[in-house]
Structure formats: C-alpha cells, structure tokens
Amino acid sequence: MNLGFLGTGTISTAVVHALAPLGHTIAVSERSAANARALSAAYPNVSVADNAGVVTAADVLFLGLMPDVAQGLLPALPFRAGQRVVSFIADLPLPEVQALVAPATAESLVLPFPAIAHGRSPLIAFPQSELVTEIFVAHDVFAMDSAAEFAAMLSAQAVLSPVVQMLLEAAGWAATQGAEATKAQDFLRSLVASNLTASPLAPLLASLSTEGGYNARLRAHMEATGSFAALKSGLSAL
C-alpha cells in the first residue's frame, strides 16, 4: 500500500518501524527532521516529503499530530475522495477529523503504543475497520464497540506508566537492600511480562494469593493504605 504519515514524532516513528519492513511504500512528513531522515536512511521504501507531498503520494494517511496542529494544518492539504485516513490523535473525535480531511474518509481512530516499533503490540481502534486490521495484521487490534468504550480504554491504558513506576520503585528498593540495580530491573520486567503473557488476570491473581505469602501480604498492605482506591479515583478523574 501507499502509506503517508503527517507528523513524524514519537508514535508515527514507532509505527513506521512496524510497517516499513512489510514492504509498503511510505512517505513521512519532513517535520521532526531527525526522525524522518533516520527512517528514510533505515528503509529504502520510506521517503520524506512536505505535508502536501505526503498527502499527494498516499492512499492511506496516518495522522500523528497534536490536535491543535491538526486543526490548523489539515484543511489546507490536498486530500482527495477515495483516500482513507487513520488518526492517532487521541483527543480529537473522529467526526471532527472527518470534517478536517474531507473529501477523504476518516476511517478509524487508532491508538498504537511505542512498543509497536519492537514487535507484536496491542492497539485500540474505533470504529472497527477492515483496513486497520489488514495493516496491523501482525499486531493485536482491539476494536472498540462504541465511543464510550474507546474513551474508557483510553483512560484505562494509562495504568501502564504507574505499573512501570512500581517496577522502578521495587527495583530501586531492592538496590538499597543489596541487589544489583540493573539486574533487579531486568528480573522484574521479565517476571511481570512472562506472567501477564501466560495467564488471564483473575486466575493469575488467584495463583498469587497464597495466604501469608509475599504477594498476598504486599497486596493487602497496598489495599489497606489506599493504593487501589487512588488508582480508581485517578482513572475517574482523567
């Protein structure tokens, strides 16, 4: 496919790393010049163009822009009927994107994550789109059934950075107790990733609930001191 990326920042760069090895012809916009240069140097099928050149070259366009930039930029670009647009802009509802890219079609609002650059990764998408499923065939596309479900998962995915911080805190604590810091981080990453991959959440938690065990005691402490209530109120406040 002929793919184009408007905005070559963090998320577009990660997605290009995921898609370029599949042989698509890809144009990326010249902003974030260092990213654009590195991508075109890494893949012979990636070229750099100005925004209008990207739109002209592509049949499917990805929007990796901040909402205010998109609102100012997109109406002036030469979108054409038959083009399809996949937006990564979390804070811009798809009907607004549609108004900005007409006569092209705003196909879906998709949230990829930076890990997509390195291998199989989940994405959330609304509405469900065959095009998105086809393009991200090597990944796990979670299609949302409604705008409300998309909004809920947009908030829920923010649990990722507190989880990462918990691992950093635990590794840092272990280092103060005699563990080697890098080894502690590597071990905890492997521990959490392998267990989460191996099992759904409820059975995993049940298997980590041995009465009086380390896991059960730490979880009870965090429950008693309000950590999980804070998580829920934080999610509600996003």
Task: Please tell me the number of Cα atoms within 13 Å of 196 on its side-chain side.
Answer: 8
* Crossing angle of helices 227-237 and 214-224, rounded to 10°: 60
Cβ proximity to ligand NAP, 36 vs 184, nearer residue: 36
Task: Please tell me the number of Cα atoms within 13 Å of 6 on its side-chain side.
Answer: 31
Q: Tell me how far CA of residue 194 lies from CA of 92, 124, 190, 191, 198, in angstroms.
A: 35, 22, 6, 6, 6
Q: Does 65 bind ligand NAP (CB under 6 A)?
A: yes
C-alpha span between 197 and 186 (Å, rounded): 16
Largest CA distance in the chain: 65
Cβ proximity to ligand NAP, 11 vs 184, nearer residue: 11
Q: Does 40 bind ligand NAP (CB under 6 A)?
A: no
C-alpha span between 109 and 62 (Å, rounded): 10
Q: Does 5 bind ligand NAP (CB under 6 A)?
A: no
Q: Does 88 bind ligand NAP (CB under 6 A)?
A: yes
Part of the chain binding ligand NAP (CB under 6 A), chosen from 107-115, 128-136, 141-149, 227-235: 107-115
Q: Does 66 bind ligand NAP (CB under 6 A)?
A: yes
Cβ proximity to ligand NAP, 97 vs 184, nearer residue: 97
Tokens of 220: 């009870």
The distance of closest approach from Cβ of residue 113 to ligand NAP in the complex, given in angstroms and rounded to an integer, is: 6
C-alpha span between 142 and 136 (Å, rounded): 11
Whether omega for the bond prior to residue 95 falls within 30 degrees of 0, making it cis, is no
How far does the chain reach from its first CA to its final CA, in angstroms? Answer: 37
Interface map 111-150 toward ligand NAP (x if CB under 6 A): xxxx------------------------------------
The distance of closest approach from Cβ of residue 36 to ligand NAP in the complex, given in angstroms and rounded to an integer, is: 8
Please give the residue whose beta carbon sits closest to ligand NAP in the complex: 9
Which of 31, 109, 126, 132 binds ligand NAP (CB under 6 A)? It is 31
Cβ proximity to ligand NAP, 12 vs 185, nearer residue: 12
Residues near ligand NAP (CB under 6 A): 6-12, 29, 31-32, 51, 64-67, 69, 73, 88-91, 111-114
